Amino acid sequence: MTNKGFLSAEKDRGILMVLSGPSGVGKGTVCAALRQRSTNLVYSVSATTRAPRAGEVDGVNYFFKTKEQFQNMIAEGELLEWAEYVGNYYGTPRSFVEETLNAGNDIILEIEVQGALKVKQQFSEGVFIFLLPPSLEELQCRIENRGTETAEAIRRRMQAAAEEIAMSEHYDYFIVNDHVDLACDRIQAIRTAEHCRKERYIPKLKHWMQEVL
């Protein structure tokens, strides 16, 4: 039989995981820890029109574009989402995501809620994870401990956090970031489970059975 080991030999398409959560919840810390654990987990690289900072590398930290290039990407539908912030554009290139997934690699996109919902409109097969603090009191303490925010800025961040949490119903999974290692364990468990979803196996099973029958 020619299909021996077909299910295990066939390389799966990768999974897009989208991670969001309020400011101060620890998204960047969790993503950095995940990347250290999983060498085959790719971190999504955004496109931007801002100038490179010292040490930043094109294609590694960002895809650096002119405003004209970025606007052409918008017009051609080449971005899963985009936004303008402080005079510069930021967005997620569709081609980078698709090429990574087609190579069989999982990719994680750390993004705010509004951008994540735009991605979901175009990429419904993605896995959307919302990172929660243990409590709002703990979240406020984390922001205050940065020592970089005024009382008014902290109030605005907490108000924004409440608004983002109210929109979290659009996500597939909730993870409480009470400890970075535990949060990574939970995300890895989701990743493993998603690779075992029946929807990922049915096309291969049908092909397999056609060969058998």
Residue 153 lies in a domain: yes
Residue 90 lies in a domain: no
Residue 156 lies in a domain: yes
Cβ atoms of 124 and 31 within 8 Å: the answer is no
Residue 177 lies in a domain: yes
Residue 76 lies in a domain: no
Could you give the number of structural domains in the chain?
A: 1
Please give the mean pLDDT across all residues of the chain. 88
Burial class of residue 67 in the structure, from the number of CB atoms within 10 Å of its CB (0-12 exposed, 13-18 middle, 19+ buried): exposed
d(CA 22, CA 92): 20
d(CA 107, CA 101): 7
Residue 52 lies in a domain: no
pLDDT digits (tens, 9 = 90+) for 190-212: 999 999 888 888 877 877 777 76
- On the question of pLDDT at 186 being above 90, the answer is yes
CATH value at residue 23: 3.40.50.300
Pairwise pLDDT comparison (8 vs 71), residue with the higher score: 71
pLDDT digits (tens, 9 = 90+) for 9-68: 456 789 999 999 998 899 989 998 998 888 789 999 999 999 998 898 999 889 999 999
Range of the domain at 121: 6-44+106-212
The rounded radius of gyration (Å) of the Cα atoms in the chain is 20
User: What pLDDT was estimated at residue 9?
Assistant: 46
User: What pLDDT was estimated at residue 66?
Assistant: 96
Residue 29 lies in a domain: yes
d(CA 92, CA 198): 28
Residue 53 lies in a domain: no
- On the question of pLDDT at 2 being above 80, the answer is no
pLDDT band at 7 (very low <50, low <70, confident <90, very high): low
